[in-house]
A and B are shown apart, each in its own frame.
Chain A
């Protein structure tokens, strides 16, 4: 092919390029339209049941009297406790793996395992939680047992996100800190953590969003689905959570409960959107004046 021909370009290459762009756009719109359909379906179905009363009522045998209060409060407790357990452990593990551990075979093995753990189905963690926390540690079906089980689910995600953020801190910052006679701990505390914090926070919130939506591990540890009270002792009291309550309602034969379940899904989605918005806001807030 002469240079002239080359410059003009081959017609097929042009066509292929446009076709590919179209294909990708189609894939995007497919996803978006499915999501919109789903949202519309749920909102149209559940909006009628949604009211302040609904949020403020405990579950009931009668669909028109059923409320989401215990599930919503249970979920909030659960997420709070999960964050309490998962964040320090996850960030600590990430700091160790990124900044302290020698880069040897052992580290590689641990790293591969964490990546794999992030992909393990949550029901497996549920069974582990049942054996370890509920039975062996005798925490029964308490909020702490549920939160510890969810911690297992999200821990690999938190570790990976925190590692990613630490790795994104330019090595020049590390070098500058060490060259000034800072110890490892000082470098981590004064330079790396502040710089990595927005990324870590985002990862943590996204991981917690996942924990918020998990029903399977809670089913596995035997969390209750009918809880007409608010938990007072996190080590003892039984609890329920949004996805569990929704799962329970959708399983009932009466149509009224399906509408209540749809309303529950709307609540769950609102909480999720709020958490994601918080993640975006944090990222924006912290990274505004930060460029290297």
Chain B
């Protein structure tokens, strides 16, 4: 296991040799290079670290799910967490906004710093934390209420009462999630009438409405058809200007398409982390290479 800095430093010199070896991955990178919007290792290094984790262990009862995970999530970047099922990437994601608190008999050790403050320190206001660290789930889970009420829920529970302010937030959030044009004339219809892809974008809008700093996404497109997936991916790409995003995905093409930095988890360990285009072309670890080339997982 490597610390991110060393992983980044040692990579460039091995680049040519590795990309010559692994054809399928190079194809992915080619599209990335064309789009030319993914951040390079150097650019990522320049970003301040929004979330820093140090030696995070996580237990479900006696079963350890994470082992000494130390990962930095740079600001205004998309960090993809990849790895086979059960590798701990979702567990890790859910540590960042303490959603794991909802599961009984879990233990966290180590430090998770958001803007330098440990989110697991005594006296942390979890409610406040979750307003700053929003989350989008794998299965779209709109409330059985109107589209408007879904988006307005976050601000409402935060105490926003004024109708005109709520209206403003709802419109802004729906615009950000590229849903406004589709729903603006039926804001008061049930959210459950929307299609799966629209529901997921509504969930993203709902998460944006609380104006979070960080957006966590747990396989946000895995239940969607390719067209909706593309819409959600475009959205994620656009959102990183204003938010810091961490996304769990099973789809490596997706990780390659949307993320700046990729972290590979395996059996609870963070195996490798680095700039996406470098990790995919020139993985440092054998396990990473096997996984991204499809030899297992």
Residues 159-196 of A at the B interface (beta carbon under 8 Å): 170, 172-183, 186, 190-191, 195
Decide if B190 touches A181 in the complex (CB within 8 Å): no
Known interface pairs A103-B104, A178-B99, A291-B192. Does A172 touch B137 (Cβ–Cβ under 8 Å)? Answer: yes
User: Which A residues are in CB contact (< 8 Å) with B143?
Assistant: 173, 176-177, 191
Q: Is A26 an interface residue (CB 8 A)?
A: no
Residue tally, chain A, CB below 8 Å to B: 23
B97 to chain A: closest CB distance in Å? Answer: 7
Q: Is B284 an interface residue (CB 8 A)?
A: no
Chain B contact residues, CB within 8 Å of chain A: 97, 99, 102, 104, 127-128, 130-131, 134-135, 137, 139, 141-144, 153-154, 156-158, 190, 192, 203, 206-207, 209-210
Chain A contact residues, CB within 8 Å of chain B: 102-103, 170, 172-183, 186, 190-191, 195, 289-292
A205 to chain B: closest CB distance in Å? Answer: 22
In the complex formed, the residue of A with least CB distance to B193 is A289
User: Which B residues are in CB contact (< 8 Å) with A182?
Assistant: 127, 153-154, 157
B288 to chain A: closest CB distance in Å? Answer: 30
17 of the cross-chain contacts (CB-CB < 8 Å) are A173-B141, A175-B137, A175-B141, A176-B137, A176-B141, A176-B143, A176-B203, A177-B153, A178-B130, A179-B97, A180-B131, A180-B134, A180-B206, A181-B128, A181-B130, A182-B127, A182-B153
User: Which A residues are in CB contact (< 8 Å) with B99?
Assistant: 175, 178-179
User: Which B residues are in CB contact (< 8 Å) with A195?
Assistant: 144
In the complex formed, the residue of B with least CB distance to A180 is B154
Contact of A180 among B102, B144, B190, B210 (CB under 8 A): B210
B36 to chain A: closest CB distance in Å? Answer: 33
Decide if A181 touches B141 in the complex (CB within 8 Å): no
Known interface pairs A179-B207, A180-B210. Does A190 touch B141 (Cβ–Cβ under 8 Å)? Answer: no
A4 to chain B: closest CB distance in Å? Answer: 40
Bound-complex Cα distance A122 to B141 (A): 43
Bound-complex Cα distance A190 to B144 (A): 11
A98 to chain B: closest CB distance in Å? Answer: 13
Decide if A292 touches B144 in the complex (CB within 8 Å): yes
A261 to chain B: closest CB distance in Å? Answer: 47
Contact of B141 among A172, A290, A291 (CB under 8 A): A172
> Beyond the given A182-B153, A191-B143, could you list 7 further A-B residue pairs with CB under 8 A, ordered by the A residue number?
A176-B137, A181-B127, A181-B158, A182-B157, A190-B156, A195-B144, A289-B144
